[in-house]
Amino acid sequence: MNTTKITEFSQILYKARKNSEEVGSLTKTYGEFPLSDAYKIQAAGIEMRLNDGEKIIGYKMGLTSKAKMEQMGLHKPIFGVLTDVMEVKNSSAFSLKKKIHPKAEPEIYFKTNKELKGTPNAQEALSACAEIGVALEILDSRFEGFRYFTLPDVVADNSSSAYFVLGDSVKTPTDLPLKDLTIDIRDGETVMFSATGAAVLGEPILSLCELVKLLDEQGKTLPAGSVVLAGAATQAIELKAGQKISATFEKVGKASFNVTG
């Protein structure tokens, strides 16, 4: 794909995000394009947002669990960029105004205190973490209907990221067996979906390893101080006014927000 087309697609998605409007799938109008081009569109879109004053604070991994791969019909881990304006304070209200078709999903997050690069193993990745916590990601695809798109479309659209809530965390080193702990998403007291940490690539820290590997393929490293969402452990749920959404991660704690109209 030439640079003009990459810029054009990144502008379409940038405007859709700004105006909370749906747009058609890029691959439908253009035809298929490789993931490498999709990441270039994503990066060009982030560049525009940095020019608006947003600051990168980390990354989100996506499609790291079977539940999500099956819900979306897409089968390969991907990443997106998180900026400061996307953070919603824990336990606060989240308004549906100017959102397209938001969904929430329960995630584990890592906060690093050392740079990670190359292809770290689980032990190396873990030793670069200052804290491990529970988060809610609030997705909002810029594409019509949310679900009828291909992997390059999603990646170009910053992997459907919109907002995120960071909840309770534990400081590392910790000997918590992340893969055996239950994580769920609730509306009020009702558990909507639940899984164990193992739902995320068999062991959640492997999601951080995978991110660093994907960044390395693009000649990038993960800076110290990054927040990384590991990818949803369960399906996402559609947001409606009146919901009291929370995610609970056994022995770690809770993240929550209330949905308002």
One-character DSSP codes across the chain: --HHHHHHHHHHHHHHHHHT--B--HHHHH----HHHHHHHHHHHHHHHHHTT--EEEEEEES-BHHHHHHHT--S-EEEEEEGGGB--TTEEEE-TT-SS-EEEEEEEEEESS-B-SS--HHHHHTTEEEEEEEEEEE--SBTTTTS--HHHHHHTGGGEEEEEEEEEEESS----GGGSEEEEEETTEEEEEEEGGGBTTSTHHHHHHHHHHHHHTT--B-TT-EEE---SS--EE--TT-EEEEEETTTEEEEEEEE-
Closer residue to ligand OOG (CB): 58 or 62: 62
Q: Tell me: does residue 10 bind ligand OOG (CB under 6 A).
A: no
Closer residue to ligand OOG (CB): 120 or 204: 204
Q: Tell me: does residue 157 bind Mg ion (CB under 5 A).
A: no
What string marks each residue from 191 to 230 as x (binds ligand OOG by CB under 6 A) or -? ----------------------------------------
Q: Tell me: does residue 37 bind Mg ion (CB under 5 A).
A: no
Q: Tell me: does residue 160 bind ligand OOG (CB under 6 A).
A: yes
- Name which position in 26, 72, 162, 227 contacts ligand OOG (CB under 6 A): 72
User: Which of the stretches 15-23, 42-50, 154-162, 176-184 binds ligand OOG when contact is defined by CB under 6 A?
Assistant: 154-162
- Name which position in 83, 141, 158, 256 contacts ligand OOG (CB under 6 A): 141
User: Which of the stretches 27-35, 61-69, 191-199, 204-212 binds ligand OOG when contact is defined by CB under 6 A?
Assistant: 61-69
Q: Tell me: does residue 105 bind ligand OOG (CB under 6 A).
A: yes
